[in-house]
């Protein structure tokens, strides 16, 4: 569900394209727990839960409009910088 939601929010609706994004896109990889479900899995899930998904996305759209958030389509990822101790001199071994 999380991966489908991200796909819809970013304008990716095709099951095959969503599957490809789980390999290519950091947000999709994170939401899929770095797993890569087959496109048939996404298609079957949508088919099986079509009525519930329609209601859910309709409610999400109404909430977004109420909050004045505008159009969907932007996914933000935290860009926190963390100090690390991984210089190339410490990592390399001869």
Output helix, strand, coil percentages for the chain, rounded to the nearest 5.
60, 0, 40
Read off the DSSP letter of residue 66: H
pLDDT single digits (tens) 3-62: 998 998 888 999 999 999 999 999 999 999 999 999 999 999 999 999 898 888 788 878
d(CA 60, CA 5): 10
Question: What tens digit of pLDDT does each residue of 18-33 get?
Answer: 999 999 999 999 999 9
Q: Which two tokens stand for residue 23?
A: 């390999």
**Residue 61 structure tokens:** 């759209």
Indicate the domain borders of the chain. 2-67
Rounded alpha-carbon distances, angstroms, from residue 28 to 11, 21, 45, 69: 13, 6, 17, 22
Global pTM? 0.63
| Alpha carbon distance 45, 64 (integer Å) | 24
């Amino acid at each position: 569900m999380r991966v489908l939601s991200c796909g819809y929010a970013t304008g990716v609706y095709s099951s095959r394209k969503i599957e490809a994004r789980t390999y290519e896109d950091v947000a999709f990889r994170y939401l899929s727990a770095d797993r890569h479900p087959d496109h048939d899995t996404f298609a079957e899930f949508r088919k099986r839960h079509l009525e519930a998904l329609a209601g859910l996305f309709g409610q999400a759209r109404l909430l977004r409009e109420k909050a004045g958030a505008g159009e969907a389509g932007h996914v933000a990822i935290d860009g926190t910088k963390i100090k690390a101790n991984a210089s190339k001199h410490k990592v390399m071994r001869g």
